[in-house]
Structure 1
Amino acid sequence: MATKDINTADSASDTRTIDEIVDVIATTAPEIRTGLPGRRVASEVQNPSGETQMAADVFADDLLCERIGALDGVGEYASEERPESIDVGTGSLSVAVDPLDGSSNLKPNNTMGTIFAVYDAPLPANGRDIVAAGYVLFGPVMTMIIARGGTVDEYVIYDDATYELIREDISVPDEGSVYGFGGRVPNWTEEFEAFAREIEQDASRKLRYGGSMIGDVNQILTYGGIFSYPALESAPEGKLRVQFEGYPIGYVLETAGGASSDGEKSLLDVDKPDLHARTPLHIGNTNLIAKLESALD
C-alpha cells in the first residue's frame, strides 16, 4: 500500500525548471488538441510497446520534445513513442511523457490526455525520484492536474493557451463512489475477479470505465473509489507503462492522500530498469487499495 514519502524539488533552479515544464505542457495542450482532427489516422510505424502509432501521437510527441527539450534545466526527454530517452541538454531534471494517452479513442472521439513526470534522476528512473507529475485531460473542458511540493492543484486551460488555477490542495474524497476495472474479464486472475465482484456488489458505488486510463484516473481523483488495470493471465506484467503511467499516476494519487499499488506495494516502489516496462496498476482510496492487496496476497 502507499507510503507517504513524496519527493520534492530541492533547489531554486529545479523549482524554476518545473514551473517552465508545467507552462510548456499547459500552453502546448491547446495546439495538440487543435491538431487532432486531421490526425485521426494510423501512422506506418509502431511505438516501442508494439502498438501502431496514430499520426496524433507523433504530432504531440514532436511538439513536446522540441519545447521541453529547449528548457535549460532539462537534461533528458523520453516518451512512450520513442525507443530510448534522448539527451536534450545539461540540466539535472529528466522528463518522461505519454504525449497522447488514450489515442485509440480518437476514432470514437472519446477522452484522452497527456501524462508527464519530472524526475530528479537519469532515465529510466524510480518512482521515488519524481519531483512533479500530472496530466492534461482533453474533456469537454480542458483541465490540468499538477502534483508537486506535497499538494495537488487543478487548472483549467483555455483555447488561447492561458490557464487558471481553479482548485487547490485536492484530496481524494473519503467516501469513494466509483470503480472501474480494465482488461478482458476472461483474462483476469481468479483472485482479482473475486475482488472485483465484491466491489461490484456495493450499491453505493457506480461503474465508471471509459477505456482511456487518464479519464478513469480523473474519475477517482474527483469522486474517490478504485481503478485497476490488473495483472492478467495473458499479461502478468499488466498493460500500463511504469515510467510513463504507473509512476506519475501513483505520485498524483498518493500526493492527494490516496493510495497506489501494483498489487503488492506502492507503484512508486516498483523497480523495473527497462524504460518501457509494464506494471499492473491500482489506484484509489487507501482502504480499498489495502483490501485489494489483501485479496491478491
Structure 2
Amino acid sequence: MTDSDPRADGGPADSTVAAVFDAVAATAPEIRAALPGRRVESGTENASGESVLAGDLYADELLGEAITAVDGVGSFVSEEREDAVDAGGAVGSGPDDAYAVAIDPLDGSSNLRSNNAMGTVVGIYDAPLPASGRDLVAAGYVLYGPITTMVVADDAGVREEVVERAPDGGGVERSVVEADLRLPETPTVYGFGGRVPDWPADFRAYARSIEDELKLRYGGAMVGDVNQVLTYGGVFAYPALRSAPEGKLRLQFEANPIAYIIERAGGASSDGTGSILDVEPEAVHQRVPLYVGNEALIERLEAAVGDD
C-alpha cells in the first residue's frame, strides 16, 4: 500500500487492478535507482530476438516478483520472457477469475546509453494471453523522465500521478497531478518511428503533410513519445515498414495498453485500418503497426494507408 492512496481521488474500484498498480509504483524508484549500473548488454536476447540490456532483466525480475505476488493475478508475461508465468488462479472474465498481466519492463532501454527517457508499460487483461485489447480492464505506464510519473487508465478514466520515494525511505508516495487526463483538442506534436527510407510511400506522404502542421517530438522510447502526445495533443506512429510489414511494437505489451490509454483519454488508435483494440490476437509476441493520437489525425492516417 502506498503512503498516499490515489484511489480516494477516483481511482480504480477493482482491488486487484489497484494492487497491480501499487506493485508497479512500489518498484519504480528501485528500477530508476538501479539504472546507472545496468547500461551494458546482458549477453542475452529476448523472445523477439532483440539484444537485452542488464537494465531490462533487472526491471523484469523486480516487476515479475511484485506482480505475481498480487492476489488475483493468475498469469504474468513480459517482453523479456518467452512464455507466461503461472501465478495461480484461472484467468478469465468470470467474477472469481484472475487477471493476466502483460508488461514491457523497460520500454526504450536503448536510451540508457544516451540517458534519455524510458518507461514501463502495463496491461491488465481479463482473458488468457494472447488477448484482445477489448479484454483489457486497465492499462498504464511509468515514465522515467526528469521526474517519475505513472499514467493509469481504467473504467474511471485516465489519471497521472507523481511517484517518488517517501522521505523516511519506508515506501513510495503517489500524488495525483491530473485526475481526468484528456487529450488536448488542438494537436501540437508528432513522433514517427522507423527509418524514413523504410516507410511505405503512402505513410511517407501522410508524414510529410503532418510535418507541415505539427512540431517533431521523437525520443526513441514509445512511452516518452506517447506521453508528449497525451500532454500536448498530436500523433505518434510506429508504422508498418517495408522491411517489417507487421510493424515493430508488440500487441500485448505495448500496442494494446497504449491504445487503451489514448482511447480512454478521448483519442483514437489504429493499426492502419481500425482500432488497435480490435486486432485479432494470434501470439503473445505478435507485432503490429501502431498509430495513436487525436481522432482527426488518425482518421487521416487510415484514409492514407488503409488500402494497403
Q: Shorter-chain-normalised TM-score: which range?
A: over 0.9
How far, CA to CA, are the matches of 1:113 and 1:182 in structure 2? 17
- The C-alpha deviation readout for 1:253-273, integer Å capped at 9, x for no partner, is 000000000011101011131
Q: Distance in 2 between matches of 1:159 and 1:118?
A: 25
- Residues 1:96 and 2:102 are matched in the alignment: yes
TM-score by length of 2: 0.90
* Cα distance in 1 between the residues matched to 2:138 and 2:39: 30
How far residue 77 of structure 1 moved from its aligned partner, in angstroms, is: 0.2
State yes or no: 1:228 paired with 2:237: yes
Whole-angstrom distance in 1 between the partners of 2:60 and 2:279: 26
Q: How many residues align?
A: 283
SS at match of 1:252: helix
Q: How do residues 247-286 of structure 1 correspond to structure 2 at under 5 angstroms? A: 247-286=256-295
2:182 and 2:157 map into 1 onto residues whose CA distance is 9
Shift of 1:166: 1.1
CA contact (8 A) 1:14 1:93 kept: no
| Maintained 8 Å contact 1:97/1:115 | yes
Mapping 1:135-284, distance limit 5 Å:
135-160=141-166, 161-202=172-213, 205-284=214-293
What is the rounded CA distance, in whole Å, between the counterparts of 2:260 and 2:249 in structure 1?
A: 15
Give the 3-state SS of the residue equivalent to 1:273 in structure 2: coil
Q: Which residue of 2 aligns with 1:78?
A: 77
Taking a change above 3 Å as real, the CA distance of residues 157 and 14 of structure 1, as seen in their structure-2 partners, is closer
Task: Calculate the aligned-residue CA RMSD, in Å.
Answer: 1.1
Separation of aligned partners in 1, 2:13 and 2:73: 9
Partner of 1:47: 46
The amino acid across from 2:23 in the alignment is V
1:24 pairs with 2:23:
yes
Question: What letter corresponds to residue 167 of structure 1 in structure 2?
Answer: E
Q: Which amino acid counterpart does residue 33 of structure 2 have in structure 1? A: T
Q: Deviations over 1:114-159 (max 9, x none)?
A: 0000000111111000000000000001100000114000000013
- Is 1:291 paired with 2:297? no
SS of alignment partner, residue 64 of structure 2: helix
Distance 1:99 1:162 in 2: 21
Deviations 1:41-67 (A, max 9, x none): 111210011111111111111111111
Greater RCO structure (CA 8 Å; 6+ sep):
1
Cα separation, 1, equivalents of 2:64 and 2:191? 32
Q: Which runs of 5+ in 1 are unaligned?
A: 1-12
**2:9 equivalent in structure 1:** none
Identical-residue share of aligned pairs (%): 56
SS in 2 for 1:290: helix
Superposition misfits of 4+ residues, deviation over 3 angstroms? none
Distance 1:201 1:100 in 2: 33
- Normalising by structure 1, we get a TM-score of 0.94
Q: Supply the distance in 1 between the matched residues of 2:134 and 2:299 (Cα, whole angstroms).
A: 20
| SS, match of residue 19 in structure 2 | helix
> For the residues of structure 1 that align with 2:220 and 2:59, how far apart are their CA atoms?
20
Q: 1:145-192: per-residue Cα shift (whole Å, max 9, x none)?
A: 000114000000013321111111111000000011110000000000
